[in-house]
Amino acid sequence: MVKSAIAKTLKEALQLLNKDEYKILAGGTDLLIQNRNHTSLPIAFKGNVLYISHIEELNYVKADKDNVHIGATTTLEQILENDKTPKLLKETIIEMASPAIRHTATLAGNIGNASPAGDSLVTLYLLDTMLKIQSLNKERMIRLQDFILGVRRIALEKNEMITEIIIPKHNFTKAYFKKVGPRLSDAISKLSFAGAVEIKDNIIKDIRITFGAVFMIVVRSQENEAKMIGRSVNAVKAEIDEIISDYEPLIKPINDQRSNIEYRKTVARNLLRDFIEQL
Amino acid sequence: MAKIDFILNGEKISLDTNPSRRLLDVLRDDFDLTGPKEGCGEGECGACAVLMNHEIVNSCSVPLANCIGKEITTIEGFMKTKRYEVIKESFAEEGAVQCGFCTPGMVIASESLLNKNPHPSDEEIKIGLSGNLCRCTGYNMIVKAVKKAAKDGDGLW
């Protein structure tokens, strides 16, 4: 018999998680659809559900010298409206879902859902995001790229929950997020791209490139990025074809109802070319 | 079963029911509020939209558990306000209603937008209404109607 629990404090939630296995639900905009039932019937959750949206102590956006800290129950719209939120993340969030969904959906939920097409993930990987994971008696930090193991698989124990998202501050010269989808809102990406660069005296001090929905997880290659760091913008632009072929083997999309392999590979290549050409 | 206390169209409600019911079903089945409609049941069409603490949400994607302590306003509740009168007039004048199925959701979206941004640009109106689908009008009349409501209702928002 599935049960549901409503936690009002973090301590309550962690105590409950320590006793039983629960699906953690904040906004529920993914989970309600994934467990959809016939009209008028309760949501068909396959196991216990822990409702955490009422945990006020996890609703915050704070900034210190080096990082921005976002609590797990902060909604996408709250993050979007907060002036401490990094610009690139704001530009990503506004392309996500719709105002209605953003009013209840959470960033932590988008991470926990670990969809290969997850929009926030493309930007969060680029920003070297960390997560704070808590259980009743333990607290640990993990890199986002280590937390997401595959399609909808995350490195979370039964008694744990994400409590905070930590995003290092950056000073990019130029950064953007591009989403390719059939509609201006409420669209699951066919593919997505984020690029950021820091240029000083015509030298690339830092460059980051990520792709979404072209593999099981976000594609990022710090090896390929390292090849461009420390070099002049013109030198890198001259090697554009080589850079694109360095990324080709990493871009391995599938055919699905939203798009096909050929389209995704072609557009990914074009987005990368565009980014490098306009450095 | 859980005790769910919230405010619905200005009235204090206390329910003892399954917290894992969708807000949409509670509104339509328990309270006969059929303004919000199940257009898709997936959070993509906005026909089920209501205001939660004065912000638009898709009631098909909100579990009742999350409504505790919140103020829920459906189109039926919003219809009693002066702001609604202005929106209604503008929608009528600009031809923003054909079959009317999307209209409750569109009105809710308009209110959610204007409440935060009393004088939105066309671009901002399109973003504000981006979660609401209309199969009849082609949208431009609806955008014009919201623009007109913002102008005619100057001071209300």
DSSP output for A183-199: SSSS---SEEEEEEEEE
**pLDDT tens digit string along B81-94?**
999 999 999 999 99
Interface contact A40-B29, CB threshold 8 A: yes
CA distance B9 to B72: 6
- The predicted-structure confidence for B41-92, as pLDDT tens digits, reads as follows 999 999 999 999 999 999 999 999 999 999 999 999 999 999 999 999 999 9
Q: How many CB pairs under 8 A join A and B?
A: 107
The one-character DSSP state at B62 is: -
Mutate to test the interface with A, among B6, B27, B34, B61 (most CBs of A within 10 A): B61
pLDDT band at A184 (very low <50, low <70, confident <90, very high): confident
Query: Which uninterrupted H or E stretch holds B52?
Result: strand B49-52
pLDDT tens digits, one per residue of A58-93: 999 999 999 999 999 999 999 999 999 999 999 999
**What's the gap in Å between the CA of B92 and the closest CA on chain A?**
24
- Distance CA(B91)–CA(B46), nearest Å, equals 17
The pLDDT of residue A1 is 74
- A48-62, A194-208, A253-267, B17-31: which has the minimum mean pLDDT? A253-267
Q: Which of B18, B42, B128 minimises the CB distance to A42?
A: B18
Q: Which has the higher per-residue pLDDT, B129 or A181?
A: B129
- CB distance from A1 to chain B under 8 Å? no
Q: What is the ipTM of this complex?
A: 0.97
The mean pLDDT value for A20-37 works out to: 97
Pick the residue from chain B with its C-alpha nearest to A188.
Answer: B44
Answer yes or no: do A184 and B19 touch at CB < 8 A. no
Q: Name the nearest CA neighbour of A99 among B36, B117, B3.
A: B117
What mean pLDDT do residues A49-56 have? 98
The CA distance from A133 to the nearest CA of chain B, in Å, is 23
Nearest to B20 among A45, A54, A94 (CB): A45
Q: Tokens for B71?
A: 């103020």
Query: B77-104 as b/e, with b when 16 or more CB fall inside 10 Å?
Result: bbbeeebbebbbebbeebebbeeebbbb
Q: Residue A185 has what pLDDT?
A: 85
Question: Would you say residue A186 has pLDDT above 90?
Answer: no
| Mean pLDDT over the full length of chain A | 96
Please report which confidence band the pLDDT of residue B143 belongs to, taking 50, 70 and 90 as the band edges.
very high
Of B49, B63, B131, Cβ closest to residue A186: B131
pLDDT of residue B126: 97
Q: What is the pTM assigned to this prediction?
A: 0.96
Instruction: Please name the residue that has the structure tokens 């079959």.
Output: B99
* A chain contacts of residue B54, beta-carbon cutoff 8 Å: none
Pure H helices in A94-173 = 99-102, 107-113, 119-126, 144-147
Torsion angle in degrees (nearest 10) through CA of B126, A125, A101, B129: 0
pLDDT of residue A42: 97
CA angle B20/A39/A183 to nearest 5° reads 95
Residues 71-100 of A with CB under 8 A from B: 77, 94, 97-100
Q: Is the pLDDT of residue B110 over 90?
A: yes
Helices (H) and strands (E) in chain A, counts: 12, 14
Q: Please, which residues bridge with residue A69 across strands?
A: A62, A166
Write down the pLDDT at residue A2. 86
Yes or no, beta carbons of A103 and B21 under 8 Å apart:
no
Contact B43 A33 (CB under 8 A): yes
Q: What is the dihedral of CA A77, A45, A130, A251, to 10 degrees?
A: -90
Contact A106, A76 (CB under 8 A): yes
Please determine, for residue B138, whether its predicted confidence score (pLDDT) is greater than 90.
yes
The pLDDT-based confidence of A124 (bands split at 50, 70, 90) is very high
Among B residues 114-153, those touching chain A with beta carbons less than 8 Å apart: 126-128, 130-132
What residues contact A71, with CB distance under 8 A and at least 6 apart?
A: A57, A58, A59, A60, A61, A163, A164
